[in-house]
Amino acid sequence: MKTVYFVRHGESISNVSKAHQGIDEPLTELGQKQAQFIAKRVAKLPIEAFIVSPVIRAHQTAEYIAKEIGKEPEFSELFIESRGPKRFWGLTNDDPTAKEAYSQISKNYGTPGWHFEDEENYEDHTRRAQAALAFLAVRSEEKILVVTHGLFLRILIAHSIFDMKPTPQEIKKITYNLETANTGITILHYDQGHAIPWRLWVWNDHAHLG
pLDDT at residue 129 is higher than 90: yes
pLDDT tops 90 at residue 48: yes
Task: Tell me if 48 sits within 8 A of 141, measured CB to CB.
Answer: yes
pLDDT in tens, 9-47: 999 999 999 999 999 999 999 999 999 999 999 999 999
Share of the chain above pLDDT 90, in %: 98
Please give the pLDDT value at position 172. Answer: 98
CATH topology of domain 2-209: Rossmann fold (3.40.50)
pLDDT tens, residue by residue, 107-127: 999 999 999 999 999 999 999
Domain coordinates in residue numbering, the chain: 2-209
Q: What is the DSSP string of the chain?
A: -EEEEEEEPPPBHHHHHTB---S-PPB-HHHHHHHHHHHHHHTTS---EEEE--SHHHHHHHHHHHHHHT---EE-GGGSPPP--GGGTTSBTT-HHHHHHHHHHHHTTTSTT--SSSS--HHHHHHHHHHHHHHHHT-S-SEEEEEE-HHHHHHHHHHHHTTT---HHHHHHHHHH----TT-EEEEEE-TTSSS-EEEEEEEE-GGG-
pLDDT at 142 over 90: yes
Gap between the Cα atoms of 96 and 99, Å rounded? 5
Is the pLDDT assigned to residue 138 strictly greater than 90? yes
**Is the pLDDT score of 136 beyond 90?**
yes
Given a cut of 90, whether residue 210 has pLDDT beyond it is: no
* pLDDT, averaged across the chain: 97
Q: What is the pLDDT of residue 175?
A: 97
Residue range 99-113: average pLDDT?
Answer: 98
